[in-house]
Chain A
Amino acid sequence: MSEELICITCPLGCHLTIERKGDDELLVSGNRCPRGVKYANEELLSPKRMVTATARVLRLPQESQADSLGLVARLPVRSTGAYPKETVGDLLQAIYALEVPVPVKRGTVLISNFKGSGVDVIASRTLLE
C-alpha cells in the first residue's frame, strides 16, 4: 500500500509516492531532489514544523505612548529549526510568555534549546525602540 504526500520543502511541491519497507524505512518516488526523500521520512516518521509567532515587547511607559502610528507592538520571532509537530503548542506558550526589552537585534536568541530539542527561538526583526 502506498501513501501520497506533497513535498513542501520548496515551492515546486513534488507529488511523492511512498512505500513503507519496514517500521522506519521508506521508498520514495516522485521527488525531483533528495530533499523529497528527507521530507517524506520526516513527515511520516517524526513530523516537525517551523514555528513563527510574535512576542511581547517591553517598553518604558513613556515610549509606549509615542505619537508614532508605526510603533511596532509585537516582536516577530521564529524557531531556528523545525520542532516536533505534536508539541508545537508548548513552544508557542513559551513564546507567548516572553517579555522582550527593546532594543533587540535580529537573531538574538530568546529561548535556547527549548526542552532539549536543539531548537532556539530568535528575534526575526530588529526593533530599536
Chain B
Amino acid sequence: MKDLFFDAVVIGGGAAGMAAALELDAAGLSCAVIEREEQLGGILTQCIHNGFGLIEFNEELSGPEFAERIEEKLQGTNIRSFTSTTVMELDAGSENKVLFCYSALWGVLRLSCNAIVLAMGCRERNRGNIRIPGDRPAGVYTAGLAQRLVNIEGYVPGKDIVIIGSGDIGLIMARRMSWVGCKVHAVVEILPYPSGLTRNIVQCLNDFDIPLYLSHLTTNIIGRDRVEGVEITPLENGALMSDKAFTIPCDTILLSVGLVPENELSRMAGVELNPMTNGPLVDSMLMTNVPGIFACGNVLHVHDLVDYVVEESRRAGKYAAQWLKGRRPVREVRVKAGANVRYLAPVRVDVQADNKLYMRTLIVKNDAVLEVRVNNRVVKSIRKNHIQPSEMIQLQLSPKDLESVLSAPDPVVEVSIN
C-alpha cells in the first residue's frame, strides 16, 4: 500500500475540485486531487453544449472547453492528480485525516492530510426517488446517463422520447436528441413554471416545437420489455385530474427531475448536512462542522452555472489554505433564510470579513427586493429585476453591512425576498 502525505486533499476533479486545488497550490501548499473518472473535468466533459464561461472567461464555451481551460492551469503546478481513483474510506476524526483510495493503477493508496476539500458534485434523482409507478422496462434513463451515452459513447438510447422534468439537463437533451435525429414528443413538468433556465426553454424546446406540459404529473410508465408509452395527468389547483390523463407513445423516457449533492463520503466523515440542500452546513470559510473539512461546488449546493461553482470553489481553496496557516473566523453569526428564501450557503457570516453568499428563492417575481435584516432592522436592501427558483442569487455582506451585529445582544441576520 502506497502512503502519501499532502497538506490538503481535494475529493473530486471537476471544475470545483480543480479550482480549489489551484488556490491551495498558489498558497504554496501541497495538494492532491482525487477523481474517479479516467479524466479530470467532471460532468462538464459530457456537456458538449455551449453556454459555459461567460463570467469566468468572458466568452461562451462548451463544457469540455471550459474543463480543459481550467485543467490547463494545473500544468506547471505541484498539484498531484489521481484519476480513475475512488475515495472509499475517510477518517477525519483527528487533525491528521486519512483517506483510502482505490485505483487499478495504484491498488490502494493511503493519503494523509490536514485538510480535505469536498468537491464530489451531485447526482441525478431517478425514477424511484420520484416514485413513478408502472412497468419497469428498458428505456427509462436519467438525462445525464443519456447525455453520456450520446455525447461520449456515441450511442442513441432511443428514438421517440418523452422528457420528465424541465431541469436544464433535460432541456439540453431535448435539443441534443432532436439534433441526432430523434423525435422528442414532450417535456412534462409537475410545477406550474419550468425548472430550467429561460434560454434553454427558448433554444431547446421552442426551436423544435416541443410541447412543454406544465402542472402535469407522470402517473404511469407502460411497456413490458421496452418503454411503449407514458401516461401523464394534469394537476389543477394541486389536485390530480385523473379523468384528463392521457398517454404519449414513446420508446424512451428521460428523467431530469433534480440533482442531489453526493454526500456519502461527507456523512462517513461526520459532516452535518443542511436538509434544504442536502449539502454540508458550512461557516463563513466554507468549512463544515468537522474542522479541516471544506466543501464547494455542487456537493455544497446545486449551482445553476459552472462559473459560480468555480468562483465559490476558489474561495474554498483559499479558505482551506488560510485555515491551514492558522486563520480562523473572527466573529461569526448565523444567517437565517427568511421569507421566500429556500436556502443560503454558507449559513454563517464573519462580521469582520467580506462575505459572499449564494441563495435560491422560492418564487418567480419581477422587481423583487432582497433585504438583509439584523434583529429585524433592515441593513441592506437590493433591487432585483427578475428572480426565479432556477437562478441563483448572489449576495455580498461586508463588515460595514454587518456593523450593527456588533452592538446587538443576540444578533440574528435574516435574508428575505419580497
A10 within 8 A of B: yes
Binary flags per residue of B173-206, CB closer than 8 Å to A gives 1, else 0: 0000001100000000000000001110111000
> In the complex the two chains form, what is the Cα distance from A15 to B366 in whole Å?
10
Which residues does chain A contribute within 8 Å of B39, judged by CB atoms?
A: 70
A8 near B203 with CB under 8 A, answer yes
B62 near A52 with CB under 8 A, answer yes
B152 near A8 with CB under 8 A, answer no
B411 within 8 A of A: no
A124 near B65 with CB under 8 A, answer yes
Which residues does chain A contribute within 8 Å of B304, judged by CB atoms?
A: 11
A50 partner, pick from B37, B50, B153, B180, beta carbons under 8 A = B50
Instruction: Using known A-B contacts A13-B199, A50-B50, A74-B154, determine if residue A85 contacts B207 with beta carbons closer than 8 Å.
Output: yes
Residue of chain A at shortest CB distance from B391 = A11
Which residues does chain A contribute within 8 Å of B61, judged by CB atoms?
A: 124
B152 partner, pick from A12, A14, A49, A74, beta carbons under 8 A = A74
Which residues does chain B contribute within 8 Å of A12, judged by CB atoms?
A: 385-386, 391
A125 partner, pick from B50, B54, B64, beta carbons under 8 A = B64
Q: How many A-B residue pairs have CB under 8 A?
A: 83
> In the complex the two chains form, what is the Cα distance from A23 to B63 in whole Å?
38
B4 within 8 A of A: no
A106 within 8 A of B: yes
A84 within 8 A of B: no
Instruction: Using known A-B contacts A10-B54, A76-B48, determine if residue A15 contacts B203 with beta carbons closer than 8 Å.
Output: no
Instruction: Using known A-B contacts A8-B199, A11-B304, A73-B153, determine if residue A78 contacts B385 with beta carbons closer than 8 Å.
Output: no
A54 partner, pick from B151, B199, B385, beta carbons under 8 A = B151
Total contacting residues, chain B, CB less than 8 A = 36
Binary flags per residue of A33-63, CB closer than 8 Å to B gives 1, else 0: 0000000000000000110111000000000
> In the complex the two chains form, what is the Cα distance from A52 to B65 in whole Å?
12
Which residues does chain B contribute within 8 Å of A14, judged by CB atoms?
A: 385-386
Query: Chain B: interface secondary structure?
Result: mixed
Which residues does chain B contribute within 8 Å of A13, judged by CB atoms?
A: 197-199, 386, 391
A102 within 8 A of B: no
> In the complex the two chains form, what is the Cα distance from A32 to B304 in whole Å?
20
Range of interface residues on chain A?
A: 20 to 34
Residue of chain A at shortest CB distance from B49 = A52
A49 near B68 with CB under 8 A, answer no
> In the complex the two chains form, what is the Cα distance from A126 to B45 in whole Å?
11
A94 within 8 A of B: no
A78 partner, pick from B50, B152, B154, B305, beta carbons under 8 A = B50
Which of A12, A73, A74, A125 has the most chain B CB within a 10 Å cutoff? A125
A27 within 8 A of B: no
Residue of chain B at shortest CB distance from A126 = B68
Query: Chain A: interface secondary structure?
Result: loop
B203 near A70 with CB under 8 A, answer no
> In the complex the two chains form, what is the Cα distance from A106 to B66 in whole Å?
11
Interface residues of A in 115-129 (CB under 8 A from B): 124-126
B215 within 8 A of A: no
B179 near A125 with CB under 8 A, answer no
> In the complex the two chains form, what is the Cα distance from A91 to B202 in whole Å?
20
Interface residues of B in 348-375 (CB under 8 A from A): 366
B385 near A32 with CB under 8 A, answer yes
| CB of A111 to closest CB in B, whole Å | 16
Interface residues of A in 7-37 (CB under 8 A from B): 8, 10-15, 32
Which residues does chain B contribute within 8 Å of A2, judged by CB atoms?
A: none
A1 within 8 A of B: no
Contacts A/B (CB < 8 Å), 23 sampled: A8-B199, A8-B202, A8-B203, A11-B54, A11-B305, A12-B386, A13-B198, A14-B385, A14-B386, A15-B366, A15-B386, A50-B50, A53-B179, A54-B151, A70-B39, A73-B153, A73-B154, A74-B152, A78-B50, A78-B62, A78-B65, A92-B179, A124-B65
Name B residues whose Cβ lies closer than 8 Å to a Cβ of A.
Answer: 37-39, 45, 48-50, 54, 60-65, 68, 84, 150-154, 179-180, 197-199, 201-203, 207, 304-305, 366, 385-386, 391
Given contacts A52-B62, A124-B61, 18 further A-B contacts (CB under 8 A): A8-B199, A11-B304, A12-B386, A15-B366, A49-B203, A54-B151, A54-B154, A69-B38, A70-B38, A73-B152, A74-B152, A76-B48, A78-B50, A78-B62, A124-B64, A124-B65, A125-B45, A126-B68
